[in-house]
Structure 1
Amino acid sequence: MELKRVDYDRTQHAGYAKGRRLLPTSRRTWLRAFREHAGDRRIGTVLDVGSGTGRFTPALADEFSADVIGIEPSARMREVAHIESSHPLVSYVPGHAADLPVADASADLALMFLVWHHVPDRPAAARELARVLAPGARLLMATTLSDRLKELLLYRYFPRTRDIDAAVFPTLEETVDVFAEAGFAHSGLTEVHHRSADSLSEYAGRQRMRALSVYEHLTDEEYREGLAALEADAVAETSPRAVESECDLLVFTRR
């Protein structure tokens, strides 16, 4: 399946911050996971690679009491981040995974949150991450893996999104091999359970914003039909039912 690249300057930036905003409980869940797998070294500088509108960037600064550099190729996403996710310890700069605007061995931790599938040259990106991370520093990668797809509620209402994810995301073995070649050790894999919405109605509201990049690969008819079915179920919901999700967190250590 050949899929076009998502242009965040053209489409996704407008509703992304609101549609992908983290629930407080979900933010705490992820930060606990990041802290648990960040390693024992002192963390003075964190890279948020593919920081988007800054969903995690200020939270990383608070969690690690560290300077955080949000690196994002989309100018429009950075504009939103500057407005909605500013923080005294955070800076947002242009760049992408294969060309990071930071010095050699200058970072103590890097995060890539649902970014890896957007990277066109993954071997080059892995080498660049190896360049900027200090020896012993860790890379945390939250990602879908095509051989470890979860039973997401999204797939029920928009069935072809599962096929798209299977085509877009690499396997675990492919990902580990790319980083091994670049000088990383695979240090862990954990499944993080987090809350996507407090109710089906809230979940439907988020999908109306079309803030998931996978929607860019659906036809308008597929999107409308899925959203209509989801909204019908949301209207029928008599008591709020939280929408829980799972996501893999890969941990790599710079040798």
Structure 2
Amino acid sequence: MVDYDGRMGSVYVEGRGISSAEVARWTGAFAAYVPERRPLDVLDLGCGTGRLTPGLAVEFQGQVYGVEPADRMRAAAEQVPHPGVTYLKGSAEEIPLPEASVDVVLMFLTFHHWMDPVQGLREVRRVLRLGGVALLRTQFSDLMPDLFWYEYFPSARAVDAAMYLPVEETKALAVEAGLEPGADVVQLTAEEPRTLRQRYERLSVRALSTFEHLPADELEAGFARFAADAERDPDRAMPVYSASTLVLTRPR
């Protein structure tokens, strides 16, 4: 289990922060899959340092709740207050909100950290209003992207794949929890283009949970090669990857 109150919490903003323009691209992409009416109340479940949370308030114009179990991450989020956002301590399995209190739930790269996925999805269903939408932005073990930096860390691909469930198993858990999954996995593209040097600078602080599971010698050798490549060709444009997202609905 990754300790986000430890080292990861101290480097997350530096390694995973995103610009306001990228936040707007993400929230605009989410808007295509939720009800058109405004305002919409939103739960950012596992909001971390709140990198997307205020942007959800801007996009959807309702009350936004950022729920995060790690005190260090939540404290970082609270350093950038927004009048439409309330941050709360909680987890997927115990969401501190009343039944039928939000129209949208965003789960952005948090599902693989849940202790009890079915209970978490049941809680998502509980807090959603009828016809509400949950956006499960995650990876799937049978739909993994071919990330360029895997070449530096030979075991990273297998480590990542082991963190995630396949698509159909994830859908089955959602159905068991009373949610209705869309037929297809949606591919969103909202990531900011970055150069090789920019990618190295972000990844080298090791704010991805993948790096918590790699041996020290592999990390050392991989980042040495990565640094050398970034020094030789700093301005090379790196790939922008689509983001796998499963759209789940609470049936009316």
Specify the TM-score bucket, using the shorter chain as the normaliser: over 0.9
Quote the residue 1:128 is aligned against.
Answer: 123
In structure 2, the gaps of 5 or more residues are none
Equivalent position to 2:85, from 83, 86, 90: 90
Are positions 1:252 and 2:244 aligned together? Answer: no
Q: Secondary structure at the match of 1:195?
A: coil
Report the counterpart of residue 151 of structure 2 in structure 1. 156
TM-score w.r.t. length of structure 2: 0.94
Q: Measured at CA, do residues 243 and 25 of structure 1 come closer, stay the same or move farther in structure 2, by a change above 3 Å? A: farther
Structure 1 distance, partners of 2:88, 2:147, is 33
Q: Which amino acid in the other structure matches residue 14 of structure 2?
A: K
Q: Distance in 1 between matches of 2:40 and 2:110?
A: 23
TM (norm. structure 1) is: 0.93
Which range moved further: 208-217 or 181-190?
181-190
Give 1:225's match in structure 2, choosing from 221, 232, 237.
221
Moved more, 185-194 or 161-170: 185-194
Q: Tell me if the contact between 1:25 and 1:195 (Cα under 8 Å) persists in the aligned partners.
A: no
Residue 8 (structure 1) aligned with residue 4 (structure 2): yes
Q: Secondary structure at the match of 1:203?
A: helix
Q: Name the SS for the 2:168 alignment partner.
A: helix
Q: Which amino acid aligns with 1:30?
A: W
Q: CA RMSD in A?
A: 1.5
- The more displaced of 170-179 and 31-40 is 31-40
- The residue correspondences of 1:110-125 to structure 2 (distance < 5 A) are 110-125=105-120
In the alignment, structure 1 residue 45 sits paired with structure 2 residue 77: no
1:36 to 32, 39, 54: 32
- Say how many residue pairs are matched: 250
The CA distance in 1 between the partners of 2:81 and 2:234, in whole Å, is 38
1:216: which partner in 2?
Answer: 212
CA distance in 2, matches of 1:63, 1:206: 27
Equivalent position of 1:62 in the other structure? 58
SS for the counterpart of 1:37 is coil
1:71 and 1:100 in contact (8 A); partners too: yes
Q: 1:161 to 1:43 in 2, by over 3 A?
A: farther
- Distance, in Å, in 1 between the alignment partners of 2:215 and 2:234 is 31
Task: Name segments (4+ residues, structure 1) moved above 4 Å.
Answer: none
State the alpha-carbon separation in 1 of the partners of residues 237 and 70 from structure 2: 35
Shift of 1:32: 2.1
Instruction: Check the 8 A contact 1:190/1:248 in 2, yes or no.
Output: yes
How far does the alpha carbon of each residue in 1:42-88 deviate from its partner, in whole angstroms, 9 at most, with x for none?
443100000000010001011111111000000011111111x3211
Correspondent of 2:165 among 153, 164, 170? 170
- Paired residues of 2:48 and 2:74 also in contact (CA < 8 A): yes
Q: CA deviation at 1:41?
A: 4.8
Aligned-residue identity in percent: 38
The 1:19/1:191 distance shift into structure 2, 3 A limit, reads same
